[in-house]
Amino acid sequence: MSKKLHACTELLHGGRDPARHCGMVNVPIYRGSTVLANTLEEWESRKQPDNPYASYGRFGTPTTHALEELVADMEGGHRSLVFPSGLAACTHAMFSVLRSGDHILLPDSVYGPTRAFAQHTLARFNIAAEFYAPHAGAGIGAQLRPNTRLVYVEAPGSGTFEMQDIPAIAAQAHQAGAYVMMDNTWATPLYFKPFQHGVDISVQAATKYLIGHSDALLGVATANEDAWPLLRKGAHDFGQTIGPDDIFLALRGIRTLPLRLRQHWDTGVKLARMLSRHPLVARVMHPALPEDPGHALWKRDFLGASGLFAIELRPMPAAAFTRFIDQLRLFGIGLSWGGYESLVLPMDAPKRSVSPYPVQGRMVRIHAGLEDSDDLIADLRQALQAATDCLAVPGPEMAVHA
């Protein structure tokens, strides 16, 4: 078929070949470690130059390969590999590129566990990690060193949702001979095409939107043709693998990703707009809002948004903040995101190395689930009203607008 298919059609048909699996519409769950060969010739033919043991369950089954093929097509990359978690995809993708004595640059807004890995684990391997301002853009060139091997990007950044000029950063990195790696979990490959913007390796926590049902952990890393040999060998050397049942759940989730993500996006923006007008809310961090500092970059490079954003509340007594969180009925309090359910996560001021992130009140990360947006808005309003009622002497500026 020569005509380019729409995303929803591609994701329904990609990675499936019923004729290879007795007509099954879904790729079956292949469980097993040992893969037999019928002849010596067949056994020898399965060996690969860098992996003579390729014919073994750790290196994938038809279930694994179906997901990797589908994700690589979604990302627009060369090949993909699966990992036991999103963080495992991030860390092992880094290790596949970095060597002792190398230098890596990461945005100051990077995902917290990735920051910890860079600061603590990489240091033990004589790899220097340095952070840069998320808004650096082409200015990152000033921090590139002769031994800079990898520049890491994440847009929007975890917690604070700051955008990055990824094409400008990638141009500077490639000019210096460095690879570019991106955490593309927030937008998914549906709403950001990393390899069209200069990324060499894209990582995702498939735990989030790809699986979409909060019932499995999974990470995926996708590389372009140049970076693929590094990613492939590095991952295999560490022995990372994942069970077929979780891979099946990811294949299942991806089939409905366009429908789910469109509602997450739409509901998230509605919640963010309502909250931006509420007097208890000091700031809303969502790049799809026109007033957000990163909106122009989001509009230029992204095809959509997810349901994850954050707010900063105005300073208030602990009792009022507790009242707001505890009064919520449709939002669970929990880590992760990307499932069908709405969540809130109270956050402290983010850790920064380049410059402090200014925060006066408490921050709350919000994930807009698949509930009706009117119900979620009503729930947030009544919880904010409960916080307002808890304030000792609310002034006229604290009145809640309908």
**Mean pLDDT confidence for 374-393:** 92
Query: Is 270 an active-site residue?
Result: no
Average pLDDT, the chain: 92
Asked whether the predicted pLDDT for residue 396 surpasses 50, the reply is: no
pLDDT > 70: percent of the chain: 94
Asked whether the predicted pLDDT for residue 401 surpasses 80, the reply is: no
pLDDT in tens, 246-277: 999 999 999 999 999 999 999 999 999 999 99
pLDDT in tens, 24-82: 767 877 888 888 888 998 888 887 766 666 677 777 788 999 999 999 999 999 999 99
Q: Which residue has the higher pLDDT, 236 or 112?
A: 112
Of 16, 115, 149, 208, the catalytic one is 208
Of 58, 252, 314, 381, the catalytic one is 58
pLDDT in tens, 158-172: 899 999 999 999 999
C-alpha 81/C-alpha 236 separation (Å) is: 10
Q: Is 79 helix (H, G, I), strand (E, B) or coil?
A: strand
H helices present in 106-256, as ranges: 112-116, 122-124, 166-175, 188-191, 228-238, 244-255
Q: Is 360 helix (H, G, I), strand (E, B) or coil?
A: coil
Q: Which helix (H) or strand (E) holds 132?
A: strand 128-132
The burial of 126, by beta-carbon neighbours within 10 Å (0-12 exposed, 13-18 middle, 19 or more buried), is given as: exposed
Tell me what pLDDT residue 241 has. 84
Q: Which residue has the higher pLDDT, 51 or 92?
A: 92
Q: How far is CA 370 from the centre of its chain?
A: 19
Would you state the torsion angle of the CA atoms of residues 201, 289, 297, 314, taken in this order, to the nearest 10 degrees? Answer: -80
Query: Is 208 an active-site residue?
Result: yes
**Mean pLDDT confidence for 90-113:** 97
**Would you place residue 8 in the very low, low, confident or very high pLDDT band (cuts 50, 70, 90)?**
confident
Q: Give me the DSSP letters along 271-339.
A: HHHHHHT-TTEEEEE-TTSTTSTTHHHHHHH-S---SEEEEEEPP--HHHHHHHHHH-SSEEE-S---S
**Mean pLDDT confidence for 376-389:** 97
Asked whether the predicted pLDDT for residue 1 surpasses 50, the reply is: no
Of 30, 111, 132, 152, the catalytic one is 111
C-alpha 389/C-alpha 90 separation (Å) is: 44
Asked whether the predicted pLDDT for residue 96 surpasses 60, the reply is: yes
C-alpha 129/C-alpha 120 separation (Å) is: 9
Asked whether the predicted pLDDT for residue 22 surpasses 90, the reply is: no
Of 183, 246, 292, 301, the catalytic one is 183
Other C-beta atoms within 10 Å of 349: how many? 15
* pTM for this entry: 0.91
Question: Domains plus CATH for the chain?
Answer: 7-30+61-255 (3.40.640.10), 257-398 (3.90.1150.10)
Query: Is 58 an active-site residue?
Result: yes
Q: Give me the DSSP letters along 134-175.
A: TT-GGGGGGG--TTEEEEEEESSPTTT-----HHHHHHHHHH
pLDDT in tens, 280-303: 999 999 999 999 999 999 999 999
pLDDT in tens, 177-207: 999 999 999 999 999 999 999 999 999 999 9
What tokens does 194 get? 């990393």
Query: Is 215 an active-site residue?
Result: no
- Residue 401: phi and psi, rounded to 5, are -85, 145
**Would you place residue 336 in the very low, low, confident or very high pLDDT band (cuts 50, 70, 90)?**
very high
The strand pairing partners of 179, in sequence order, are 150
Residue type at 288 in one-letter notation: A
